[in-house]
């Protein structure tokens, strides 16, 4: 293809000439128009659609503040804690950068959890957006890995012992567990080798993966188009210009709304950074302001709040709980045989897998199955596009009682998160076990309850009431 550069009037602004020069050599304007400027989105977006843009903003904040922190941080077991103190006390505005980064970590998970809530409410994971959802789940996993690896870097008491506990969990994996834990640590205990490994993953490896996944997530989104609160396809009704009748250009309409959302977010973010950066110990624990001591174990070790729902499921898996799990697996296999529309071969496979799981539960200890359930509690999210059999995407047109199912799930998730930061007791363990059953039941029983009840008529076009 021949090189073509647009002819501009001699009195054209310098900025237009510069942009024209770049566009002739790189598709800058084309990328902007395809991904945002002339990307047509449904016109009935509400406040729930702000969190995708906010997640991108927080990612940028984390990258920029992380770069400045790395300039002064020392990934050395003898110097790491002191270097963080140096950043806080002696580096000009270092305290602000550190608090922005630590608050940003929690803000990232808050925004992502709300973003995922919107997807649950409006069925944004349903066909044809399965790949968008899978990329989103991969982003969530990468984000959890990034947070975990970064958690060790301050080299405080909770960082050290939290990493010790989490890494030791891998030793519960049969046959390869001890060697896997040793490989992750790089030593027999959490040490300087562990710190260097975690530092390299936190600063280089996972951020590159995260940026690539975010790009793939956005490209996939703009390929099939955005969902909307009604859960109907706007591409089914096109105007004379080839654009959906019920859509509007993202710029300037959603640019201005996003800027308003960003302003509110930055106001709240700044309030936390300047007035409550520790957030009562949930964002920064008191024990993490004490240098790591391998000879002094804190009385209660718990991960940061955004990991605690899954950590509660891990702690809930006791030897006594295994019998209930076995009963649950047997009951679920029976349900598949009686109430599912699976083929005979699929039902046979379900029986074989169920028996294998039950035998495994009798052979391997509760610690191993706690790790399995903790991992499954995250990975099961990726199955939503195939578990949800509802005739309507959006919660707006589902039976009213479906809303209460989602509310119960949200409450259970919060309760698991709260119990994860509390010292374990018999009562709390029992509540965690009940909540764990409900958590997995929400997903595993979804093929039945999501299709049950009387559904409201779904409109063919979006419902929109301008202000």
Q: What is the pLDDT of residue 128?
A: 93
Burial class (CB in 10 A: 0-12, 13-18, 19+), 71: exposed
One-character DSSP codes across 263-276? HHHHHHHHHHHHH-
Q: Which two tokens stand for residue 162?
A: 């939290």
Model confidence over 237-260: pLDDT tens digits?
A: 888 888 898 999 998 999 999 999
What would the two tokens of residue 385 be?
């596009």
d(CA 381, CA 442): 11
pLDDT of residue 2: 58
Reported as a single tens digit per residue, the pLDDT across 400-432 is 999 999 999 999 999 999 999 999 999 999 999
**Confidence band of 299 (pLDDT split at 50, 70, 90):** confident
Establish whether 389 is an annotated binding residue.
no
User: What pLDDT score does 77 carry?
Assistant: 92
Query: What span, in angstroms and rounded, lies between the C-alpha atoms of 236 and 241?
Result: 14
Rounded to whole angstroms, what are the CA distances from 382 to 139, 365, 446? 11, 27, 13
300 is in an annotated binding site: no
Residue 222, annotated as binding a ligand = yes
Any known ligand binding at 115? yes
CB 231 within 8 A of CB 455: no
CB-count burial class (<10 Å; 0-12, 13-18, 19+) for 313: buried
CA distance between the termini of the chain = 48
Q: Domains in the chain and their CATH numbers?
A: 34-277 (1.20.810.10), 305-449 (1.20.810.10)
Does 217 show up as a binding residue in the annotation? yes
Q: Which long-range contacts (CB under 8 A, 24 or more apart) does 146-150 make?
A: 146/202, 146/206, 146/207, 146/210, 147/105, 147/108, 147/109, 147/304, 147/306, 147/307, 148/307, 149/198, 149/199, 149/201, 149/202, 149/206, 150/105, 150/198, 150/202
User: What pLDDT shows up at residue 118?
Assistant: 96
Question: Which residue from 124, 91, 92, 105 is spatially nearest to 62, judged by alpha carbons?
Answer: 105
Contact predicate 366/321, CB 8 Å: yes
Tens of pLDDT, residues 335-358:
999 988 888 888 999 999 999 999
Do residues 421 and 308 touch, judged by C-beta distance below 8 A?
yes
As a whole number of angstroms, the distance between CA 453 and CA 441 comes to 18
Model confidence, pTM: 0.94
Per-residue pLDDT tens digits for 360-384: 999 999 999 999 999 999 999 999 9
d(CA 71, CA 67): 7
């Amino acid at each position: 293809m021949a090189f073509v550069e647009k002819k501009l009037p001699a009195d054209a602004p310098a900025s237009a000439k510069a942009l024209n020069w770049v566009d002739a050599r790189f598709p800058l304007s084309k990328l902007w128009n395809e991904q945002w400027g002339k990307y047509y989105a449904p016109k009935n977006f509400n406040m729930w659609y702000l969190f995708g843009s906010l997640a991108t903003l927080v990612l940028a904040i984390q990258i920029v503040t992380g770069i400045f922190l790395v300039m002064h941080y020392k990934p050395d077991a003898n110097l790491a804690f002191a270097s963080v103190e140096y950043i806080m006390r002696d580096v000009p505005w270092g305290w602000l950068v550190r608090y922005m980064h630590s608050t940003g970590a929690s803000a990232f998970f808050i925004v992502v959890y709300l973003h995922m809530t919107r997807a649950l409410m409006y069925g944004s994971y349903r066909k044809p957006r399965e790949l968008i959802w899978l990329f989103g789940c991969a982003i969530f996993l990468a984000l959890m890995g990034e947070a975990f690896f970064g958690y060790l870097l301050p080299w405080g008491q909770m960082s050290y012992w939290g990493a010790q506990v989490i890494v030791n969990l891998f030793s519960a994996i049969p046959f390869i567990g001890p060697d896997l834990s040793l490989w992750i640590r790089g030593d027999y205990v959490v040490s300087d080798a562990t710190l260097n490994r975690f530092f390299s993953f936190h600063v280089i490896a996972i951020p590159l993966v995260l940026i690539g996944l975010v790009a793939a997530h956005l490209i996939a989104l703009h390929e099939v188009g955005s969902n909307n609160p009604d859960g109907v396809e706007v591409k089914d009704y096109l105007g004379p210009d080839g654009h959906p009748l019920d859509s509007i250009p993202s710029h300037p309409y959603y640019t201005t709304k996003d800027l308003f959302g960003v302003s509110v977010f930055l106001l709240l973010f700044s309030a936390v950074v300047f007035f409550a950066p520790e957030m009562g110990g949930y964002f920064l624990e008191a024990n993490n302001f004490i240098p790591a001591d391998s000879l002094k174990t804190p009385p209660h070790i718990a991960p940061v709040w955004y990991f605690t729902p899954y950590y509660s499921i891990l702690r809930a898996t006791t030897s006594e709980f295994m019998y209930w799990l076995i009963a649950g697996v047997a009951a679920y296999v029976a349900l598949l045989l009686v109430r599912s529309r699976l083929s005979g071969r699929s039902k046979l496979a379900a029986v074989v897998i169920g028996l294998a799981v039950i035998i495994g539960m009798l052979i391997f200890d509760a610690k191993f199955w706690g790790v399995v359930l903790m991992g499954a509690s995250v990975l099961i999210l990726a199955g939503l596009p195939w578990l949800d059999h509802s005739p309507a995407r959006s919660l707006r047109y589902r039976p009213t009682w479906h809303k209460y199912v989602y509310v119960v799930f949200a409450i259970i998730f919060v309760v698991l998160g709260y119990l994860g930061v509390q010292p374990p007791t018999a009562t709390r363990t029992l509540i965690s076990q009940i909540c764990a059953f409900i958590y997995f039941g929400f997903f595993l029983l979804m093929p039945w309850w999501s299709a049950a009840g009387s559904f409201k008529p779904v409109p063919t076009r979006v419902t929109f009431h301008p202000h």
